[in-house]
């Protein structure tokens, strides 16, 4: 840890691009396996993906367990500590929707409207959804 500044702490744990995109993929499209994360349009390198998954697990953001269908695959999910990042990710979404005129999320007008009106309530709903194995936009995965 470079310092005990609260912002630095967060950045050290989840502040790199790839970690946030892994968290995004779990929340929004329900990705759960290494292979699913690998298919993300941003094109993460295999060594970077493996490193970030391991780091997020080590930091207590993700948990990993063998797939019940295929023991050769691991399933990743957000821990309670990871679920607490959902409001942060949702605020990044709001900021991006405001400043990126080509953001994909602008096509989700109803969702963005609800999020703008009551971010705390929507954040709790999304946490419950993801905690129970769901995701926001399963049709997008």
Asked if residue 91 is part of any domain, the answer here is: yes
Task: Show pLDDT as tens, one digit a residue, over the chain (141 residues).
Answer: 567 788 888 888 878 889 999 999 999 999 999 999 999 888 889 999 999 999 999 999 999 999 999 988 999 999 999 999 999 999 999 999 889 888 888 788 899 999 999 999 999 999 999 999 999 988 775
Q: Whole-angstrom Cα distance, residue 112 to residue 51?
A: 32
Asked if residue 17 is part of any domain, the answer here is: yes
Asked if residue 80 is part of any domain, the answer here is: yes
**DSSP assigned state of 37:** H
Angle between helix 119-131 and 17-29 (nearest 10): 80
Q: What domain count does the chain have? A: 1
Q: Report the CATH number at residue 51.
A: 1.10.10.10
Asked if residue 133 is part of any domain, the answer here is: yes
DSSP line for 78-130:
E-HHHHTTHHHHHHHHHHHHHH-TT-GGGG-HHHHHHHHH-HHHHHHHHHHHH
Q: Is 0.85 topped by the overall pTM?
A: yes
Asked if residue 1 is part of any domain, the answer here is: no
Asked if residue 52 is part of any domain, the answer here is: yes
Angle between helix 86-99 and 119-131 (nearest 10): 130
**How are the residues of the chain apportioned to helix, strand and coil, as percentages rounded to the nearest 5?**
60, 5, 30
Q: Which residues are within 8 A (CB) of 87 and not within 5 positions of it... i.e. 6 or more apart?
A: 119, 120, 123
Do 76 and 26 form a contact (C-beta atoms < 8 A)? yes
Asked if residue 38 is part of any domain, the answer here is: yes
* Domain residue limits at 122: 6-140
Asked if residue 39 is part of any domain, the answer here is: yes
Block residue for tokens 């929507």 = 122
């Amino acid at each position: 840890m470079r310092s005990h500044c609260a912002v630095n702490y967060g950045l050290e744990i989840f502040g790199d691009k790839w970690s946030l995109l892994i968290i995004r993929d779990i929340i929004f499209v329900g990705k759960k396996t290494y292979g699913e994360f690998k298919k993300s349009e941003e094109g993460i390198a295999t060594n970077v993906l493996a490193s970030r998954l391991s780091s997020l697990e080590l930091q207590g953001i993700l948990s990993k367990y063998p797939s019940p269908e295929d023991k050769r695959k691991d399933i990743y999910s957000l821990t309670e500590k990871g679920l607490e990042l959902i409001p942060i990710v949702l605020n990044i979404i709001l900021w991006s929707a405001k400043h990126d005129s080509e953001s994909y999320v602008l096509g989700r007008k109803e969702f963005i409207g609800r999020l703008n009106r009551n971010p705390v309530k929507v954040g709790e709903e999304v946490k419950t959804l993801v905690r129970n194995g769901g995701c926001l936009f399963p049709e997008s995965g």
